[in-house]
Structure 1
Amino acid sequence: AGFIARSLPLDDPATLALASLCTEQGRLLHRGPSIIRRGRSAGRPGDPRAAGVIEKRLTQLEARLAARLGPVRLALHSRAGDCEPWLAAFLALERGAGIARRAAEPLRTAIREGHRRGAVRLVSLSAGETIVAMSGWLVAERRGYGLACVHDTRLAAYAPHRLLLRRVTALAALEGLTRFDVGAGCHPGTEALWPETREFADFALAIGGPTRRALFDRAMRSHYS
């Protein structure tokens, strides 16, 4: 009866084309709830003063974390056999942080398939022998899209998610990504590292003849009201 697209970026050409096509055809395009993801674009570093302040603060926090647990290092898990151990460690870190993922299988499927195709990057940040933060993101057409991010909440005083994002920022620059949206779970306190915001929303539109479209439109108005 209808077509539902989840989490489309409002500024993406495909989203704009969909809206334009619906207008031309006289179809109602229903917009659902939206979320804001932080991001950054190449050549737009944001406020250099704020970036300098956060850089100095993160250097201090990383030194304190290293003094407590051991050297801080980032690992990029790119080998074929790295995916399953990374997933197991990631989900374990989520459980330790008190995150109850209701549907872990979609994440597993997306990461396994993306990693097999060479389109997903998996990283972990360790201090000594302890993994303190992990992240995975999709890369396509020189753009990065954060899939998942988690950190050890017991070490929140050292801001491990920010330490991780600082390293991810450097990796994104080395890979030549023109745009990067950070994944959920990494937002707090990342404004200086990821100065831009990007809005995503769900959209629904009816397909079929006038009767079916009218029924679907009424259902969507009720659902999103």
Structure 2
Amino acid sequence: MSHLPAASSFHVATSRIWPMAGTDQPIVRILRHADLTAGDRAHWAALSALAGAANVFAQDWFMQAALSHDDGRSDEVLLVVVSPVDGPWLGVMPLIAERGFGRWRVRVWRNWSATNQFLGTPLVSAQSADIFWDKLLAFLDQRTGAEIMLHFERFDADDPVCIALFDRCKREGRGFHAIHCHDRPAQRAGEDVQGRSDAKIRSRLRSLLKRLEQEHGPVAIGILDPGEPCLPWIDTFLEMEAAGWKGRGGSALGNNCATEGLFRTVVARGHANGSARLATLSVNGRAIAMSSWFESAIWGHGFKMTFDEEYRPYAPGQLLMRAVRDTIAHRTDMSFDTCVPRDASHCHSLWQGNRRIIDGVVAIGSPWQRLHFDALIRARAAYGAVKARLSGRRP
């Protein structure tokens, strides 16, 4: 069992409750998105307002849009809710059954996330995090079928909800294994952005901006006002992205009905509820770079950015991201996660801090199933070591 320093079907009916208990005791409920009642939606919205600041992607307005614009498997997604009977939700986590774990043919439960949902930490009130994991893991132990693990992806390793999971596994002696960790460019609340950023980058971007203005006209950076309609911004963004390398490669949002639908819906909803920020860099009145992100009380999360490739020599994306970074810096009480790997783009050298993201697995089920889990983890490690030696890499 390692700790951080850092499929079949469930065969359950919707709204199933476990265990039967007094109304003051937290219980586990299994819900499907299509069957949510008005009361369920109200509880989800209330929990989002209470606990959604650290992960905007887990809030009800985003997650319900994600389940409506999914990859065709929404009917397989189970919302596992911990709450008192008919009481406010303490936490919710979407799960889906899988019949494989990488190359290994075993049955697992995995936290479900939509495409372009960049953080998977579940929506749980911090003060109820230990209760949530206690009830959820006990439920999976007793009511699971052949599944031997809970596979989670894209958790914030420093989030109290994630730390509560690590701590509970340690106290119970429950198998836990970190599969992958990486740091994403981020800015922590209170950091001195200007003091830590690279002077060479700042100088280069100033020169590019000056050259852009000299050769093409006045440059302006604007953020869409909350009272303005966002549909024209959305349309322009999708057109610009489709005209670039993503469009040619078939990976633009508009190349897939589900991803375009999700983008349109969450940007519109986020703009309406005050969560979305929609920025545009224009030259002589023409948009040449656009970026979107979401803000809560304590965290901002990057979403989507695109630029006009005709202006690539001027690095319009980097110019816009520098403006976004400077805008974020004025919110000294808010951290910002770019939601992009550190090596994905040169412009992310603008962000000097990090956010640790972790994927991992937790053992569930009977003693025999936990032995199966331990054996699989050992076999996976041995296979990785052999593969690394054969390729000349360090394991």
TM-score of Structure 1 vs Structure 2, range by shorter chain: 0.7 to 0.9
Cα distance, 1:125 vs structure 2: 1.0
Q: Give the counterpart of 1:194 among 339, 351, 368.
A: 351
Q: Give the counterpart of 2:200 among 49, 53, 73.
A: 53
Residues 23-42 of structure 1: per-residue CA shift (max 9 Å, x gap) = 23343345444554212224
Which residue type is aligned with residue 141 of structure 1? A
In the other structure, the counterpart of 1:64 is 211
Q: Give the counterpart of 1:2 among 101, 109, 115.
A: 109
In the other structure, the counterpart of 2:328 is 172
In the other structure, the counterpart of 1:155 is 311
In the other structure, the counterpart of 1:119 is 275
- Contact 1:34 / 1:200 at 8 angstroms: preserved in 2? yes
1-structure distance, mates of 2:244, 2:170: 45
Q: Give the counterpart of 1:128 among 281, 284, 287.
A: 284
In the other structure, the counterpart of 1:95 is 242
Q: Residues 96, 59 of structure 1: CA spacing in aligned structure 2 closer, same or farther, 3 A cutoff?
A: same
Cα distance, 1:152 vs structure 2: 2.1
- The answer to which of 13-22 and 39-48 deviates more is 39-48
Q: Residues 184, 97 of structure 1: CA spacing in aligned structure 2 closer, same or farther, 3 A cutoff?
A: farther
Matched position secondary structure for 2:348: coil
Residues 5-64 of structure 1: per-residue CA shift (max 9 Å, x gap) = 432222222222222122233433454445542122244336848533322221111111
In the other structure, the counterpart of 1:27 is 174
1:75 pairs with 2:75: no
- Contact 1:149 / 1:183 at 8 angstroms: preserved in 2? no
- Contact 2:289 / 2:307 at 8 angstroms: preserved in 1? yes
Which residue type is aligned with residue 187 of structure 1? S
2-structure distance, mates of 1:74, 1:212: 60
Matched position secondary structure for 2:202: helix
Higher relative contact order (CA 8 A, sep 6+): 1
- The answer to which of 53-62 and 96-105 deviates more is 96-105
Residues 134-171 of structure 1: per-residue CA shift (max 9 Å, x gap) = 11111122221111122223322111111111211221
Q: Give the counterpart of 2:298 among 138, 142, 161.
A: 142
> Percent same amino acid among aligned pairs?
28
- The answer to which of 7-16 and 139-148 deviates more is 7-16
Matched position secondary structure for 1:197: strand
Residues 169-211 of structure 1: per-residue CA shift (max 9 Å, x gap) = 22112333431122439731432x211232323344466x427
Q: Residues 206, 151 of structure 1: CA spacing in aligned structure 2 closer, same or farther, 3 A cutoff?
A: farther
TM-score with structure 2 length normalisation?
0.49
Matched position secondary structure for 1:62: helix
> Which structure would you say has the larger Rg?
2
Specify which structure has the higher proportion of strand.
1
1-structure distance, mates of 2:196, 2:360: 38
Q: Residues 118, 53 of structure 1: CA spacing in aligned structure 2 closer, same or farther, 3 A cutoff?
A: same
Which residue type is aligned with residue 352 of structure 2? P
2-structure distance, mates of 1:156, 1:215: 55
- Contact 2:321 / 2:347 at 8 angstroms: preserved in 1? no
- Structure 1 segments unaligned to the other structure (5+ residues): none
- The answer to which of 6-15 and 125-134 deviates more is 6-15
1-structure distance, mates of 2:212, 2:268: 31
- Contact 1:38 / 1:187 at 8 angstroms: preserved in 2? no
Q: Residues 3, 86 of structure 1: CA spacing in aligned structure 2 closer, same or farther, 3 A cutoff?
A: same
Matched position secondary structure for 2:346: coil
Cα distance, 1:122 vs structure 2: 1.2
TM-score with structure 1 length normalisation?
0.80
Which residue type is aligned with residue 45 of structure 1? D
2-structure distance, mates of 1:215, 1:81: 58
Matched position secondary structure for 2:245: coil
